[in-house]
Amino acid sequence: MNTSRVRGALLAAAQGLALALLSLGVSLTLFILTVLSMAFILLGVGVFTTPLILKLVRAHANQRRLLAADWSGVRIPVPYRPFPADLRSGVTGQVEQCSLLMKDPATWRDMRWLVTDMTGGAIVAFLAPGLFAEGVFGLLLFAGLWKPIGTYWYAFIRVDSQSTAALAALLGCVWITVATYLNPRIVKAHFKIAQASLAPGQGAELTERIDRLTETRHDAVDSSAAELRRIERDLHDGAQARLVSVGMDLGTIEALIEKDPAQAKQLIAQARKSSADALTELRDLVRGIHPPVLAERGVGDAVKALALRLPVPTEVTVDLSGRPDAPVESAAYFAISEVLTNAVKHAGAERIWVDLHHREGMLRAVVTDDGRGGAVVVPGGGLGGVERRLGTFDGVLAVSSPAGGPTMVTMEIPCALS
C-alpha cells in the first residue's frame, strides 16, 4: 500500500477528529449563546451581547474557511457586509451595530451553518477517524481482546470463537483499507457541507459581488488619490528641495569660483552630496511605487527580496508557473509587504513563513508568524487597507490570530498566469 496514501489518510483521520470536536463543542455552544442573546434583544440586554457573540461566530466561520482552503482546497467566500466607517460609539453605536448585523444575510447563513455543522457536519467528520478506529478494533479482537466468555457482535460478525475473531480482523483490514482511500474525501465532504451553508446563493452572491466591487472601486479611487498626494508630498519635501538646494549651491559656486576657490570647492562637495541624496530618495520613491525587481522578475522574487531585508528570519516558498497581470502582481506584493510589516512591528514574532502559489485560478498568499497573535481587521488599519486593496480585484482576506498566536493571514486574488 502506498505510504504517502496511508500517511494522508491518517492525517485526514486526525483532521476529521478535530473538526468533529469543533462542530460538537464550539458550534453547539455558539449556537446556544446566539439564540439566547437574540431572544434577549427584546429585553435590551441582547443589544449589547449579540454583536459580540456574532463576531465570535464569524471568527469561528472564518477559521473553518481557512481550514477548508488549507486542508481540502475548498474555497468558501467571505460575504460579510463591512461596517460603515462613521459608526458611532456608545449605546447608540451598539444598537446600530446590532441592527446592521441582524440585517446582514450572512449572519443568518452563519446560523444555518452552525446547525448543519453540529449535526451533519459532525457526523461526517467523525467518519474519518471512525473508520480507522473500527478497523483497529477488529484487529484487537483477533489479538486477544475477545475472551471465550459469551459473544460479541462486530458489525455483522458474531464473535464467539477464535475463528470468528479472525473474520473480525479480516473485516477490520477492509475498514482500514476503505479509510485509506476515503478519509481525504470524507474531510472534503465536511467542508462541502460548510460551503453549501455559508456560501450565498447565485443571485445573492452576484448582488453582493456588485456591491463589493462598487465599494472597492470607490476605495481604489480614494487610495489612488491618497497615493498621488503622498508622492507629491515626498517629491516636494525630499528630492525637489534637495535639487533646489543644488541649484542654489551651483549659483553660489559660479560667483565664488574665481574669488574664493576653497569655498567654491566646499560647496561643490556639498552639491555633490545633495544630488546623491536626491537620487537615493528618488530611487526609494520609485521602489515604493513599483519595485524594479517586481517589474523585472515577478512577484515571487520580489517577495523573496523583501524577506531578505526584514529583521525577522523569513522563509518564502513560491510555486508559480507564470506571472499574473502587472496590476495583480503589484496588489499582491504590497498586500504581502503590509502583512509582513505588521508582523515585524506588532506581533513580536521570531520567525515568519510566506507561501505563495497559484491554484484553481487563484493567486494565494499565506503569511504565518509565531508571534503573540490577536491581529484583527480594523477599518482604517493596516489589515483593513490590505482588505480594500485585494477587494479592488475581487480578492479576499482571512485572518486567524488567536491570543498567544500563531497568526495566519490568507490572501486570495482571482487571476490567470501568463
User: In the prediction, which pLDDT does 113 show?
Assistant: 94
Are 324 and 266 contained in the same domain?
A: no
Tell me whether residue 207 is in a domain.
no
Tell me whether residue 237 is in a domain.
yes
pTM > 0.75: no
Other C-beta atoms lying within 10 Å of the C-beta of residue 213: 15
Domain residue limits at 316? 294-414
User: In the prediction, which pLDDT does 112 show?
Assistant: 93
Are 151 and 253 contained in the same domain?
A: no
Tell me whether residue 7 is in a domain.
yes
User: In the prediction, which pLDDT does 74 show?
Assistant: 86
Are 277 and 309 contained in the same domain?
A: no
Are 374 and 266 contained in the same domain?
A: no
Are 32 and 142 contained in the same domain?
A: yes
User: In the prediction, which pLDDT does 124 show?
Assistant: 93
Are 283 and 314 contained in the same domain?
A: no
User: In the prediction, which pLDDT does 90 show?
Assistant: 59
Are 277 and 298 contained in the same domain?
A: no
Domains of the chain: total: 3
What's the chain's length in residues?
418
Residue ending a domain, choose from 259, 289, 319? 289
Tell me whether residue 216 is in a domain.
no
Tell me whether residue 211 is in a domain.
no
Tell me whether residue 212 is in a domain.
no
CA–CA separation, 397 and 38 (whole Å): 28
User: What CATH number is given to the structural domain containing 281?
Assistant: 1.20.5
| Contact present, 179 and 9 (Cβ < 8 Å) | yes
Tell me whether residue 300 is in a domain.
yes
User: In the prediction, which pLDDT does 260 show?
Assistant: 73
Are 46 and 81 contained in the same domain?
A: yes
* 243 CB-near residues (< 8 Å, 6+ apart): 274, 275, 278
Are 84 and 164 contained in the same domain?
A: yes
Are 174 and 280 contained in the same domain?
A: no
Are 8 and 114 contained in the same domain?
A: yes
Tell me whether residue 242 is in a domain.
yes
User: In the prediction, which pLDDT does 290 show?
Assistant: 57
User: In the prediction, which pLDDT does 127 show?
Assistant: 92
User: In the prediction, which pLDDT does 309 show?
Assistant: 85
Are 177 and 79 contained in the same domain?
A: yes
Other C-beta atoms lying within 10 Å of the C-beta of residue 32: 12
Residue ending a domain, choose from 200, 216, 242? 200
- The alpha-helical segments, DSSP class H, found in 290-365 are 292-297, 299-308, 326-342
CA-based angle 227:230:234, to the nearest 5?
140
* Mean pLDDT split into 10-residue runs, the chain, 418 residues: 79 92 93 93 86 91 88 83 64 78 89 94 92 84 67 77 82 87 92 90 60 59 56 60 69 71 74 71 58 78 87 89 84 86 84 88 88 75 76 79 83 85
User: In the prediction, which pLDDT does 20 show?
Assistant: 93
